[in-house]
Each structure stands twice: as C-alpha cells, then as structure tokens.
Amino acid sequence: ATPTTAAQNVVIDRALLNAFKALPARFEDPKNPITPEKVELGRMLYFDTRLSKNQDVSCNSCHDLNKFGVDGKPFSTGHKKQLGGRNSPTVYNSGGHLLQFWDGRAANLEEQAKGPILNPVEMAMPSAERVVETVKSIPGYVTAFQKAFPGEADPVTYDNLAKAIGAFERQLVTPSRFDKFLAGDDKALSEAEKVGLKKFLDQGCQTCHNGAAIGGSLQKLGLVVPFQSKDQGRFDLTKKEADRMIFRVPTLRNVAKTAPYFHDGSVKDLQTAVKLMAQHQFGKQISDDDAKSIVTFLDSLTGELPKSYIAKPKLPASGPKTPKPDPS
C-alpha cells in the first residue's frame, strides 16, 4: 500500500508557522556570555565522572551526546545504580525551553546544572563545597577556570562551574530541515512531511509545542482526559492545586530519537505518544494513519549532531589530593 496521505502539493498556511522559530546558533543569556574558554571548560566538566561520588557517573551518562542527549531508558541509573523517578530529557536545544526540568523548577541551564551533581540518586556529591574541593585538586581545572573567568580572585566556585556547563549546553543545538522550511525553503520538507505538519497544525499541537524548541512552557498533562500518574508534576514541588499535573512541555526536536516518551518514560513508540497526546490534550481519537503522518513530520525535526563540538575532550589529570571514588 502506498501512503495516500502523501498527496501532491499540500499547502501550509505560512502564517501558522509563526508559532515556531528557527533554531538560533546558540541560546544566549546575557547573564552568562558564551566564551570559547567557558565552553571548553564546560565540555570537560560535562564528561567528567569525578563530579560524582563514586566517580562513575557524569552528565553524559544520562544525557549521552552521541545519542541525542538521552540514555534511552525510562528512568536513568545514577549513583549505586539507583533509579531516578523521571525520564531524562534531552540536553539538546533545552536552552530554548522557558524553564528547565519536567516541573520547570529551574529558570535556566546554569541553575539546572547545580541540581544533578548534588542529587543523591544521580551524582550524589555530598555538598557544593566538596565539588569545589575536588575541582581545585585537579591542577588542569584550576587553570581552565582561571581562563574561563579571567580577573576573578577565586574563580573555582560552584556558580562558575554551573556557568561553564551552561555555556557549553547553550550551543547544543541541532538545526534540521524544518529550520530551512521555516526560513522559506518550501522544498526542504517532503510532501509527506508537509501533510503531517498540516495535521499537526490542524490539531493545534503548536499551541503547546512552539517556539524554537517546539516546546518549553508549562501545561497540564491530561487537559481533557486525565493522564494516570503518581507523579503530579509541578504540584509535587509547590503543593498548590493549580499546579497539579502541570509539566513543562518537552521539545519535539529530535523526538524520534528520544524514546521512551513522557515524564515517566511509559511509552515506547512515537506513534502511540502522538495518539495519547490527541486523546489526553484534546479528547480526540486520531486514526493510526493520522498519527503516522504526524510522526513523519516529527521525523523532520531530527537534526544533525555537532560531532566535533561534542567529541569527548581529554580530561585534566587528578592531583595528589583528588578524592578517591566513594562507593558508599
């Protein structure tokens, strides 16, 4: 059977595309200007397992940059193979989210980066002071912090560590053919992808999945049909009724590569995720063909990984005082 959905010359109302934005080269934040020195340092820290208690977990363990920034598991394993309670979102393009984490509890990437290192089920470091101590024990890092934060008397701080990681992440962007299409190139998407895009727009998915990240604001999961979940999203953070089942809308960029889906990683395939969205957010049952067609469009959001930018750097050698792994 040939896909009949791939009709010729589907016309997209370009005004509707204003809901999206082409990816910028980097997500700037004037509070943390990006410099090559910060990025270089941030890249090393991102890959460094010495930022974890047992020196066996790094950011890259859960957000594998060669795997579109995820680990492919419903829940990640951190320190002592403990399972976290939420699916690891991708770090690619996350600078385009209005807020970070599934419940939006961090305002930006720099604030976000301070979380996992101290989280007992993730990297499990006992305190920010301990992290700073560890970094200071590694001579190559001391030099790298000095270069990244010139003129500061005591550049090795937890805040600066977060800034370096944030600066590195701000350039984790993956432009795709969809960006060319947004820029005006009608041929950048295939007819089948345009059919899917039209269905996406007709359903109104872009009221929640919009902007450069194609996601990023806070919304209720289960707006129409309740979504069963022990995790109540932002409510678990604030205990305010208004926040019950409010989750940060995830980016749809690279979504074909970031299974399993939803905050609980409960859904394995994208077509099912799309059908569940239509059902829970709009109260609509969409056909398998329509869901497939939307998936075809979503595939066009798979971008190119910046191979050399994400290559694992050589990490500076430990010094005599660098703590040993602590498996406890």
Q: Does 258 bind Ca ion (CB under 5 A)?
A: yes
Nearer to ligand HEC, 182 or 208 (CB): 208
- Mask: binding to its own copies, 125-164, rule CB under 8 A, as x and -? ----------------------------------------
Q: Does 240 bind its own copies (CB under 8 A)?
A: yes
Specify the DSSP class assigned to residue 259: -
Rounded distance between C-alpha atoms, residue 250 and residue 62, angstroms: 17
8 A C-beta contact, residue 52 and residue 123: yes
Bond from prior residue into 260 cis (ω within 30 degrees of 0) = yes
Shortest spacing between CB 33 and ligand HEC, in angstroms = 19
The 3-state DSSP class for residue 3 equals coil
Contacts to ligand HEC from residues 169-228, by CB under 6 A = 200, 203-205, 207-209, 219, 221, 223
Specify the DSSP class assigned to residue 160: H
Give me the catalytic one of 122, 129, 133, 304: 122
Which member of 257, 261, 293, 316 binds ligand HEC (CB under 6 A)?
A: 261
Rounded distance between C-alpha atoms, residue 267 and residue 275, angstroms: 11
In sign, the C-alpha dihedral spanning 31, 36, 39, 45 is negative
Which member of 52, 61, 87, 300 binds Ca ion (CB under 5 A)?
A: 87
Within 8 A by CB and 6+ apart from 169, the residues are 42, 46, 91, 94, 95, 109, 113
8 A C-beta contact, residue 233 and residue 105: no
Within 8 A by CB and 6+ apart from 82, the residues are 120, 121
8 A C-beta contact, residue 39 and residue 167: yes
Nearer to its own copies, 153 or 242 (CB): 242
Q: Does 302 bind ligand HEC (CB under 6 A)?
A: no
Rounded distance between C-alpha atoms, residue 87 and residue 209, angstroms: 19
Which member of 5, 12, 24, 106 binds its own copies (CB under 8 A)?
A: 24
The 3-state DSSP class for residue 225 equals coil
Q: Does 68 bind ligand HEC (CB under 6 A)?
A: no
Nearer to Ca ion, 55 or 87 (CB): 87
Q: Does 96 bind ligand HEC (CB under 6 A)?
A: no
Q: Does 86 bind ligand HEC (CB under 6 A)?
A: yes
Structure tokens at 45: 């820290």
For this structure, is 122 an active site residue?
yes
Contact residues: ligand HEC, CB under 6 A: 57, 59, 61-63, 76, 78, 84, 86, 88-89, 91, 94, 97, 100-103, 109, 112-113, 116-117, 122-123, 165, 200, 203-205, 207-209, 219, 221, 223, 247-250, 255, 258, 261-263, 270, 273-274, 277-278, 281, 294
Catalytic residues: 122
Task: Summarize as ranges the residues that interact with Ca ion (CB under 5 A).
Answer: 87, 258
